[in-house]
Amino acid sequence: MSNELLVMKFGGTSMGSADRIKIAAKLTAEQHATRPVAIIVSAMSKVTDLLLDTLKKAEASDSEGLEANLAALTARHLECAKDLLPADRQDAACRGIEALTAEFTRIARGMLLLRERPPKSVDEAIAIGERLSAFLLAEYFNSEGIAAQAVNAATVIATDAVFGNATPILDATRERAAKVLRPLLDKRVLPVVTGFNASTLDGRPTTLGRGGSDFSASIIAAVLDAAELWIWTDVDGIMSADPRLVKNARVLPEVTYAEAAELAYNGAKVLHPRTLAPLAERKIPVWSKNSFAPHVPGTRIVPVIETGLGPRAVTSMTGIAMVSIEPASAEISGTKVMAEAIEALSRSGVELMLITSSSYTQSFCFLIRQSELDRAQEFLQQSLALEIAHGYLKPILIDKEVGLLAVVGEGMRGTPGLAGRIFTAMSRQNINIVVIAQGSSELTIAVVVHRKDLELAVQSIHEECGMGRKD
Ligand code: ASP
Ligand code: MG
């Protein structure tokens, strides 16, 4: 038996039903037989959406909708327990599930009364999804004779107090993990830790942002000095392009931390963009694997790769909006407007995905998610109200008919002619480029195109750069 710890994370689809949970347990048991394992789980697929929707309904005084959602939440987990566990464990499991859904119900009904959704209470409430799935999986292990314990990550991961998108405090997390997780591992009890949630140093509940369970897993792998982290999803690994757009897209056997982070940031859904950061110091390798095809090796994510240069993958993203701001007269400083706009966005908490400016007209434009557009506009209109009222600024322009693609690869650093090839490939198809941006890392060239051109642009770049399968 090795004493090298393996941390594994199962995403929402890998936890999505009793059958899937059984497979997750089997994949875990295989490893647990040879070395210590800790696992991190997401909520069952779509459950976090359901929880968030329920809280919105509560705030909007929709008590009928609220009750219907609560019933669906309880039914989904009770049904899963019924399919998952032997008869003699059903009663206890039902009581466990009902206790957790009751916690959620209490918070949701409170919001209904207050007609308000305080961010801290939202974070406490939506962690119930992961607490339910961790509970079910731990119960299943125990029923199979494998000692396991569900652990609420609020007792393990310490964060700042940015509710909804908190950042971990690693030293404090290391201390908590030593107290909570080490004793379990030492006794060979398998910890089944909730992904996504955490708590502040003084114990207030937080979450790490949507899709944050990957991040939870890497934080826990880092503080426990794990030998490896395996992230189980429903795709074969990190791909050279979205296989729905590009037929010969291939799974990349290896990518670097930096490449994986850029790919995730620019729309590859396989990994949460913040996942790799906690692992850098200890250089812990990560595998992205498919629980629906466990025999496929997946993608190995490592700190450095010596060979294999060139652009490696092209991502694509929709659901974004381009916002353009342009001074109407030369009397106003474009730099000052830009500073005010960015300050407003920073206060709004909206993520700026890309920004470019041109010096002559002093206009600038930036890209954000459509889901955050209303909030961004509210803050921009507020802080630029005077300039707009006096006619110093042209009206703010919004274009939702855009798509983002990003060409990523370590080997792009200092490879001359590459940008030329990418743009030639697009121009051959008569694709008009709206905006280009290259990060200072030179790892990524990001291009905004019209939404209607996105698929073709991705296909032609993938082809031109020979990123796909060779067969
Ligand atoms: N359940 C959370 C979400 O859906 C976290 C995760 O799945 O990673 O965002
Ligand atoms: Mg997920």
User: Which ligand is located closest to the Cα atom of residue 44?
Assistant: 1
Between CA 134 and CA 146 the distance in angstroms is: 15
State in Å, rounded, how far the first CA of the chain is from the last one: 41
Q: In terms of C-beta density within 10 A (0-12 exposed, 13-18 middle, 19 or more buried), how is residue 113 classed?
A: exposed
Helix (H) or strand (E) holding 368: strand 364-369
The total of other beta-carbon atoms located within 10 Å of residue 230's CB is 24
- Ligand that comes closest to the CA of residue 196: 1
Cα distances (Å, whole numbers) of residue 205 to 41, 73, 133, 170, 178: 18, 21, 18, 17, 20
The residue among 390, 406, 393 whose CA lies nearest residue 447 is: 406
Give the position of tokens 């803050």.
379
pLDDT attached to residue 308 = 62
* Ligand closest to the CA atom of residue 232: 2
Q: Ligand 1: distance of its center to the CA of 352 in Å?
A: 22
Which CATH number does the domain 2-234 belong to among 3.40.50.2000, 3.30.70.60, 3.40.1160.10, 3.20.20.70?
A: 3.40.1160.10
Say how many Å lie between the CA of residue 209 and the centre of ligand 1.
Answer: 8
Residue 129 Cα to ligand 1 midpoint, Å, equals: 9
Q: Looking at ligand 1, which atom is closest to the CA of residue 208?
A: 5
Helix (H, G, I), strand (E, B) or coil at 392: coil
As a whole number of angstroms, the distance between CA 252 and CA 308 comes to: 11
Q: Which amino acid is at 402?
A: V
Q: Which residues pair with 407 in a beta bridge?
A: 314, 445
> How far is the centre of ligand 1, averaged over its atoms, from the C-alpha of 214 (Å)?
9
Residue to mutate, 14, 47, 210, ligand 1, most ligand atoms under 8 Å from C-beta: 210
- Evaluate whether 312 touches 411 at the Cβ level (below 8 Å): yes
CATH topology match: 2-234 vs 320-399: no
Give the torsion through C-alpha atoms of 429, 432, 437, 443, to 10 deg: -10
Q: Is 301 helix (H, G, I), strand (E, B) or coil?
A: strand
Instruction: Give the span between the Cα atoms of 60 and 268, in whole angstroms.
Output: 34
As a whole number of angstroms, the distance between CA 134 and CA 128 comes to: 10
Answer yes or no: are the C-beta atoms of 288 and 238 closer than 8 Å: yes
Beta bridge partners of 325: 364
The closest of 149, 182, 298, 160 to 229, measured between CA atoms, is 298
Q: How far is the CA of 427 from the centre of ligand 2 (A)?
A: 36
Distance, CA of 325 to CA of 247 (rounded, Å): 38
| Residues whose Cβ atom is located within 5 A of ion ligand 2 | 11-12, 42, 211
Query: What residue owns the CA closest to ligand 1's atom 5?
Result: 211
Query: By the 8 A CB rule, do 145 and 25 touch?
Result: no
Chain centroid, CA 138 distance in Å = 24
Which ligand 1 atom is nearest residue 212's CA?
A: 8
pLDDT tens for the chain, 471 residues long, are: 777 999 999 999 999 999 999 999 999 999 999 999 999 999 999 999 999 999 999 999 999 999 999 999 999 999 999 999 999 999 999 999 999 999 999 999 999 999 999 999 999 999 999 999 999 999 999 999 999 999 999 999 999 999 999 999 999 999 999 999 999 999 999 999 999 999 999 999 999 999 999 999 999 999 999 999 999 999 999 999 999 999 999 999 999 999 999 999 888 888 998 999 999 889 999 999 999 999 999 999 999 887 666 789 999 999 999 999 998 887 788 888 899 999 999 999 898 999 998 777 788 999 999 999 999 999 999 999 988 888 889 999 999 999 999 999 988 877 778 888 999 999 999 999 999 988 767 889 999 999 999 999 999 999 999 999 876
Residues 6+ apart with CB under 8 A from 362: 326, 327, 332, 333, 334, 335, 337
**Ligand 1 pocket test target in 13, 15, 42, 215 with most atoms within 8 Å of CB:** 42
327 alpha carbon to ligand 1 midpoint, in Å? 41
Interval between CA 42 and ligand 2 midpoint (Å): 6
Q: Read off the tokens for 127.
A: 């962690």
Question: How far, in Å, is the centroid of ligand 1 from the Cα of 44?
Answer: 9
Which parts of 146-187 fold into alpha helices (H)? 170-180, 182-186
DSSP letter, residue 454: H
CA 345 – CA 372 distance, rounded (Å)? 10
> Using a 6 Å CB cutoff, which residues line ligand 1?
11-12, 42-43, 48, 129, 195-196, 210-213
Q: If you search the block for the tokens 């009928």, which residue do you land on?
A: 64
Instruction: Give the amino acid at 417.
Output: G
pLDDT confidence of residue 417: 83
The ligand 1 atom at the shortest distance from the C-alpha of residue 214 is 8
Position 329 scores a pLDDT of: 80
Per-residue DSSP letter, 35: S
CATH of domain 320-399: 3.30.2130.10
Ligand 1 centroid–CA 39 distance in Å is 15
Residue 251's beta-bridge partner residues? 239
Relative to the CA of 210, which ligand 1 atom is closest? Answer: 9
User: How far apart (Å, rounded) are the C-alpha atoms in residues 361 and 327?
Assistant: 7
**Hey, whose CA ends up nearest to atom 8 of ligand 1?**
211
Identify the residue whose C-alpha is closest to ligand 1 atom 2: 211
Q: Please report, for the chain, the start and end positions of each structural domain, with discontinuous segments joined by +.
A: 2-234, 320-399
Q: Give the closest ligand to the alpha carbon of residue 165.
A: 1
